[in-house]
Chain A
Amino acid sequence: MSSDANTIRAAVRGYILENLMFSSNEADLPDDASLLDRGIIDSTGVLELVLFVEERFGVKVKDSDMLPRNFDTVNALARFVGSLASAS
């Protein structure tokens, strides 16, 4: 399983577009756009994202890491997953 930064970013963006935004237009989701500000994410959305990254990248997300600084943009989430993957 690749944990290369671009691969992670693309997978995360693809998942959010497909499952939280129901869109196939990449332009709908800039990598630095706040998911909260855009109303894309709510508490169930965060849980879906956690399940997705845990399954896709074989990492474990602690409850205490479920914070906006790790989840609020595609870039933040890719960075966070990258750090978990390299630590494991």
Chain B
Amino acid sequence: MQDPAIQEAFVRLVSEHRGMLYKVCRLYCFSEADRQDLFQEIVFQLWRSYPGFRGEARISTWLYRIALNTAISGLRKQRGLITTVEPDRLPTELQDIQYPAEKEEQVQLLYAAIDKLTEVEKALTMLYLDDRSYNEMEEILGISQNNLRVKMNRIREKLRKITQADVYGIGKS
């Protein structure tokens, strides 16, 4: 697929949705090197699937499916503590953005809470936080809306407990 117009459209697409891609990488990988690997793989999968995208599904549904499938079900190895090879520099900087102190604390709290969820719960939480409808969640994840609602209630409760424990030290010895 070397058509410059297609390439241009694809680059625009990735640029427009880089925030979502960044968040998926942040949620599913702990180290920066892993995030860069995952970002590269998601972009690669998007590029491979791009010619087949006929617009039958919403672009956001298509993007979430590929990003989450790559992050969750891909046979990926998380890097160990020792990294000997530095990945190539990537087009979108994936380093954590530095916020003012107060906001940084909130962001850390948010990620710390989400990091304690399972991979499936992380996907659901991300879709919920991104204001996706239950209808679209069903199209992305392939599970019934009833099941989604039950799971969301459980996640809501779990996050409440996690954040209470993190903020007030409840449940910590």
**Is the A/B pair a real complex?**
no
